[in-house]
Amino acid sequence: MRFTFHQTASAVLIASSLCFFAAVPARATSTAYRIHPGDVLDVTVYGEPTLSAPQLKVLPGGTIVEPLVGSVAVGGLTTSQAGLALGRALTHYLRHPKVTVAVAQVGPVDVYVLGNVKLPGKYTLEPESRIMDALAAAGGLGPTDGDLPDARVSLDGNVTNVSLEKLLHQGDLTLNARVQNDMAVYVVSPNTFNVQVFGAVDKPGDVTMHEGDRLLQAIARAGEGANTNADLNRVVLRRAGPDGKVSSETVNLYSIYGKNGDPSKDVALAKGDTIYVPQGVGRRDTVSPLTGLLYTLLHF
């Protein structure tokens, strides 16, 4: 039986994922490590053993519950920043509290795998997972033409290109970097087409997309900036069918990319699609996970 190259690459990805196992380190020693939901923290308040709290789990909203002060937000902070945040909360009860925070156990990480993969979406992976594991979770690569494409790996606005040709075909495992929480892995498709985006975006008009790209990516490329105040609950997608008849669909991107959403339900775009982003009413939401994802996609 003959396999196409992208089928072989997908099989390698899935097999590698099944065979990969690494123990989670007892402590995350990097000073740049940012705490995220699912982590387990050891909190020490010097001179106050009754206030010290080992094995505090970071809750889904990024908070921990400290015995005296209650809920404290630590998600997205380094351990030193979390110690300062807890110290500030304790100043209502103690004089000059000195607090240290250590990561006792790293929690699972959420990674977006988008673009030319079989099952694009958000995946929760083990903390020691790597790029190949993320691609395998998304079912492997979609159809390719010639050499394998690059993957664009983005975190906090920083984008790194990873050659999947070197990683998967040539076996260069130095490129198999560890994934981090809220990282996006975008696999470029060889085929491009144009759609039109209008309404509350920075750059209305034609937007070039790659095969497999989704609605949210088109809006990000058209520039859903801080001043647009777009209403992503009511994005309208219009598409002409083979018979020329135009159909219209209203998409709620907040429900798709929200806490309990399913990003695989975002609409795959087609040549000639027209997208209208309505203006929002009221204050712009700057803390939604969707806002961060739009920022990430904008840097691809």
Residue intervals in the chain for CATH 3.10.560.10: 5-18+108-187, 192-298
Is residue 281 very low, low, confident or very high in pLDDT (cuts 50, 70, 90)? confident
At 104-149, the pLDDT tens digits run 999 999 999 998 898 988 999 998 899 999 999 999 998 776 778 8
In the prediction, which pLDDT does 27 show? 47
Whole-model pTM over 0.85: no
More confident residue, 10 or 240: 240
- Backbone conformation region of residue 252, classed left if phi is above 0, alpha if psi is from -120 to 50, else beta: beta
More confident residue, 276 or 254: 276
H-type alpha helices, the chain: 5-19, 79-90, 131-137, 164, 215-222, 253-257, 289-298
Q: Six-digit token pair at 156?
A: 């906090």
Per CATH, domain 5-18+108-187 is 3.10.560.10 = yes
The rounded distance, in Å, linking the Cα atoms of 145 and 3 is 14
Per CATH, domain 40-105 is 1.10.1200.10 = no
Nearest to 142 by CA among 194, 184, 191: 191
At 140-180, the pLDDT tens digits run 998 776 778 889 998 877 889 999 999 998 999 999 999 98
Is residue 256 very low, low, confident or very high in pLDDT (cuts 50, 70, 90)? confident
In the prediction, which pLDDT does 228 show? 67
Residue intervals in the chain for CATH 3.30.1950.10: 40-105
Top CATH class, 192-298: alpha beta
In the prediction, which pLDDT does 213 show? 85
More confident residue, 190 or 94: 94
In the prediction, which pLDDT does 72 show? 94
DSSP state of 229: -
In the prediction, which pLDDT does 126 show? 92
135's CB contacts (< 8 A; 6+ apart) are 13, 113, 117, 141, 151, 185, 187
In the prediction, which pLDDT does 8 show? 44
At 75-115, the pLDDT tens digits run 989 999 999 999 999 998 998 999 999 999 999 999 999 98
Assess whether pLDDT exceeds 50 at residue 293: yes
Is 65 within 8 Å of 56 (Cβ atoms)? Answer: yes
More confident residue, 35 or 9: 35
Helices vs strands, H then E, count in the chain:
7, 15
At 36-82, the pLDDT tens digits run 999 999 999 998 888 888 889 999 889 999 888 899 999 989 999 99
The rounded distance, in Å, linking the Cα atoms of 156 and 64 is 23
